[in-house]
Amino acid sequence: MDPVRNSNGVDKMEVSNGVERILVVDDDKDLRFNLSSILKDEGYNVLAVEDGREALKAVQRNCPNLVLLDIRLPGMDGMKILEKLKRIYKDLIIIMLTAYSDVKDAVKAMKLGAFDYVTKPFDNVELILIVKNSLQTQYLSREIEELRRKLGEKKPIEETMGDSPQIKQVLKQVEIIARTDMTVIIQGASGTGKELIAQLIYQKSLRKDKPFVAIDCGAIPETLVESELFGYERGAFTGAEDRREGKFEQANSGTLLLDEITNLSDAVQMKLLRVIQERRLQRLGGKRDISIDVRIIVASNVNLSEAVRAGKFRDDLYHRLNEFQIELPKLTERKEDIPILAKYFLDEANSEFNKKVNGISSEAMKFLLNYPWPGNLRELRNIIRRAVLLAESDSIEPGNFSPDNLKLYGEKMDVTQPLDKGVSFEEITKEIEKDLIKRALERSGGNKIKAAEILKMNKKTLYRKMKALQL
């Protein structure tokens, strides 16, 4: 069945569970329906129209994240639509749909601003991969622009990341390594901010005006990893109807982030090692060497040296990558940063949801400081966003947190009575820190080293805080 039409001749948006909105523009009724079904199954919101006039209206009214645009359309063809859209919506992702005979036009379209193209008949897996990668690239670009904006402000982004000795050490390492071309390994538990640190290194590097390309090595099917990294030539495998650049070529002269690199097979690791050492590659099915100049950043939630010892990662690749390491602490290891981070995420959520939640109650802050944070920064951000969305007063209260979070909180720490109202944020924070340290000392029988371990705090930091709090 064809998508439902509204009174304006534009197919109605059918909302799924996804966030990203995709517009399909094709005059073929069956292809339009099939594409819509495939994308909806992946969780995207999908709108489908049949010609250029409807496409322009749909973009204006629905603000899609991505457009799948057929080159051959009745009336206004895809190339003219592309030019019009890119003139108005410079950041809009447009992927061209084309028959093999129109590949030259597709290449021309990419010069006009199209992100990529797909030849008909297309492979469903390849199509979804291209869509996901393009949206991920868009997301990373926005993150980078946000970093640039924040770095241009009087208050640098580093100040929003915390004031603990641990994070200060990380930021010092970023400053040291950023302006070199050394390969960096960023290690830390999930949600500790590895991607943010990678972007910060890039933003402070001499390559900041060149491409930044990221690939999640764990999110790509094993059969497609090599083609994604190194590209392929026409006829390299079944379905390879045209030539495609891989991530290394896309990142040429810039920076390539290899996220969760331990997911790569041994064969791919070996090929990756050769490419890094020789600074050239061959596309799958290709015979010509292609020179590359790429700064590599590696992110992993697995300790790579331990992975080597366990036989899960090649030792020669590890030693080639291991020019500089940055270890990111867990959030529980830098609890003094939680108030700063929470305020940053609160301001971010206020802006996103157009709300005016001014602060965090003492009881809610006690929760944040005592909570075990298995998801680290990512979990803190999500909890604050949810709390801001649910808040009915001008401050976040414990009742705004998820029941699952509260349950885990109750299992891990004792809940004490809230502090009196009317106390300043600084005084609240001091009282909470004092309470936490006192309870840790009680549990350790007065042993300061054991108390520091309970708080997952450096013992020097504990001594400094005890002195400042007169304990």
Give the per-residue pLDDT at 329.
95
The segment(s) of the chain belonging to CATH 1.10.8.60 are 332-468
CATH code for the structural domain at 134-329: 3.40.50.300
Give the per-residue pLDDT at 325.
97
Low-confidence ranges of the chain (pLDDT < 70): 1-19, 100-103, 144-159, 240, 403-432
Compute the chain's Rg from CA coordinates.
26
The segment(s) of the chain belonging to CATH 3.40.50.2300 are 21-122
C-alpha span between 53 and 406 (Å, rounded): 52
SS3 401: coil
| Residue that has been written with the tokens 């790579």 in this structure | 304
- Dump the DSSP string for 170-235: HHHHHHHHHTS---EEEE-STTS-HHHHHHHHHHTSTTTTS-EEEEETTSS-HHHHHHHHH-B-TT
CATH code for the structural domain at 21-122: 3.40.50.2300
For 209-256, the pLDDT digits (tens) are 999 999 998 888 888 888 899 988 887 777 767 778 899 999 999 999
For 167-214, the pLDDT digits (tens) are 999 999 999 999 999 999 999 999 999 999 999 999 999 999 999 999
Give the per-residue pLDDT at 13.
38
| Residue that has been written with the tokens 């079904």 in this structure | 37
Predicted TM-score (pTM) of the model is 0.57
| Residue that has been written with the tokens 């290709």 in this structure | 286
**Any idea which fold 332-468 has?**
Helicase, Ruva Protein; domain 3 (1.10.8)
Give the per-residue pLDDT at 157.
62
The segment(s) of the chain belonging to CATH 3.40.50.300 are 134-329
Single-letter amino acid, residue 184:
V
Give the per-residue pLDDT at 272.
95
**Contact between 268 and 226 (Cβ < 8 Å):** yes
**Contact between 469 and 434 (Cβ < 8 Å):** yes
Give the per-residue pLDDT at 201.
95
